[in-house]
Amino acid sequence: MAAAKPGASGPVAPAPSGGASRTPQIQLIPATAAGALDAAEEAVDLLLESGRTPGDVLVITTGEPHPWAAHELSFGDTSYWAQHDAGDDVFYTDAAVAERAASRPVVVVAVNGGSDSVAAAALPLALSRAGALLIVCGDPQQINAVLGAGV
């Protein structure tokens, strides 16, 4: 076993270049469909307050789009995705087009409605896009049924 490097005490942060074989940590925040978007917003606020940069965070919604996404899409698809590609701010997207989003260190999913099949498709996709942490806000029974018991 390799010796610990000096100054490496405290919480262990995942390596920024974590390979595809690395499974992100999964955090579940119980919420109703009506409260999932608010719970996701609180999670994003806590991430930013704890030192995450806005460009580290991708938020996916399964029901109504986040108000930011709806607003930005009013300027057109090209402008909206250009903001994603810039990678310098939290990016909000709908589960229907989330496969177009690139991986980010943290992915937050608001299971705020939509059919079970939308959540069933969105959650594994979000897991594949999360580099270090996947936060899922929604009904624990529905989420566990999709991601596996004990999440």
Task: State the DSSP string of 20-36.
Answer: TTPPPEEEEEE--TTTH
Alpha helices, DSSP H, located in 51-105: 67-73, 77-86
Instruction: List the helix and strand counts (H, then E) for the chain.
Output: 5, 5
Task: Report the alpha-carbon distance of residue 80 to residue 84 in Å, rounded.
Answer: 7
Task: Report the alpha-carbon distance of residue 96 to residue 121 in Å, rounded.
Answer: 9
pLDDT of residue 142: 85
Answer yes or no: are the C-beta atoms of 42 and 48 closer than 8 Å: no
pLDDT of residue 12: 30
Answer yes or no: are the C-beta atoms of 62 and 37 closer than 8 Å: no
Answer yes or no: are the C-beta atoms of 111 and 62 closer than 8 Å: yes
pLDDT of residue 1: 37
Q: For 8-26, what is each residue's pLDDT tens digit?
A: 332 333 334 444 457 899 9
Q: For 53-106, what is each residue's pLDDT tens digit?
A: 999 999 999 999 999 999 999 999 999 999 999 999 999 999 999 999 999 999
